[in-house]
Amino acid sequence: MCADDIRDTLMQHNFRSEDERIATDCIEAANNIALCVQHQKSIVDDILTVSKLDSNLLQITPVPAQPVVVVKRAMSMFYPECSAKNIDFTFVPHESLERLNIDWILLDPQRLLQIAINLVSNAMKFTQHSTKRKVLVHMFASPDRPGLDVGFDYVPTRSPLPDLTAGEDWGSGELLYLHVEVEDTGCGLTKEEKEVLFERFAQASPRTHAQYGGSGLGLFISRQLAELHGGQVGVRSKAGVGSTFGFFLQTRRMIASAGRPTLSRAPTTERVLPNHAKASRELAASLSKLDSLQPTADVRSVRDERLHVLIVEDNLVNQKVLSKQLTKAGCVVSTADNGLFALQHLATTTFHASSASQRASPSHVPLSIVLMDLEMPEMDGLTCCKRIRGMEASGELTSHVPIIAVTANVRDEQIAIAKESGMDDVVSKPFRVPELLAKVKGLLEQLRED
């Protein structure tokens, strides 16, 4: 985030011609720092995932999710890279999504997100040096298991695929197959190179690591996760032309119930413009409208439509850096050093019951969402969240307060404990602000629809 802050600050300033070269060098250095950190994080994440796979600790947990939203969230993480490498990045939903009314379905969104990130990351890596730089993300749905398209080869599974969705957690909705493909205009693969993919630490050839980097774990992990989710991965590629990596997962349709939205319009092709500054401004502009989605007890005649964020974080450096980045994105930021101060701040907001009897009072400030660290002195995040949910139940707070846990404690059992305490979602440290804001937007939209 510090590297992003340096870059964004320099890009927003108009330098004199004699200083422009120095500023450009600083921007390039900041971008390189961010890319190196991202690369380091991806390697650590891959190793941890492989360790869990080897120990059979990874499980598929079906929850209601919107697959289009999940895949778009994966894409949003690559906006800065698209800008830096001038890559045309497009989401292309197939007509089957509308025809089959695919909106909320049962699947494991974390596994879908992880595979999508791996495949998009590969596409970016192998497209960055091409003359034509284009990455397309396609999404399909079908009631039948996807067949073999011409030239598309699925990797054979190590054992027959079970009907994953037969368990009690999956309900009795219609079985659906979700299919995602990531198409690129990169260097492509020869037949021999395709044969060694999807194995542990395997890359297409010895030149792959030297030229493009990577650990050789991404495709191996994607294969494992797809098979755990009742699916397969595969590839279609031609050397010198480009590649299409794809996968399908078993999912189930949700039984229609009140509170869940249905797809009301045809999905449209969306293009991510290769301009980081423009993308950041557009993201800030869209987020500035989210405060109107907050289910507060009253509607005031004059509203501040910006996103109001409370950061609960005891590390003052983290608190300062995140506050600055969110403020640049157009948010109004408040801070609290621990859970006790967070509760004190909450009593001054429009969520508090006292605000309902003082509709015109300017003393009660808007609040859109709380970003809550877990480990803090005096009152930790879990205790604070439980206290807030208790205040909601007793009527001291007039409606549900959106809370996202922001923590490095992201083992499966730790995430489960956080959600049991009342957290709406969990964001793992380290993260980048565009990723965080995309998750905030998704949560607030979901709460509005519910």
Range of lowest pLDDT (15-29, 263-277, 363-377, 389-403):
263-277
Instruction: Identify the band that residue 4 occupies on the pLDDT scale cut at 50, 70 and 90.
Output: confident
Output Rg (C-alpha) for the chain, integer angstroms: 23
Residue 257 to residue 171: CA distance in whole angstroms? 13
Residue 99 to residue 283: CA distance in whole angstroms? 30
Nearest to 196 by CA among 179, 178, 183, 209: 209
Residues 39-84: tens digit of each pLDDT = 677 667 767 777 777 667 677 888 899 999 999 888 887 877 787 7
pLDDT of residue 148: 59
Asked if the model's pLDDT at residue 295 lies above 70, the reply is no
* Strand ranges, E, within 226-306: 232-238, 242-253, 270-272
The whole-chain average pLDDT of the chain stands at 78
Phi-psi region of 407 (alpha: psi -120 to 50; beta: other; left: phi over 0): beta
pTM: 0.55
Residue 246 to residue 232: CA distance in whole angstroms? 8
* Whether the bond into 162 is cis, omega within 30 of 0: no
Residues 305-363: tens digit of each pLDDT = 789 999 999 988 788 889 988 998 889 999 999 999 999 999 999 998 876 555 545 56
Count of positions (residues) in the chain: 450
Q: What is the largest CA-CA distance in the chain?
A: 73
The angle, 0 to 180 degrees and rounded to 10, between the axes of the packed helices 316-328 and 433-449 is 70
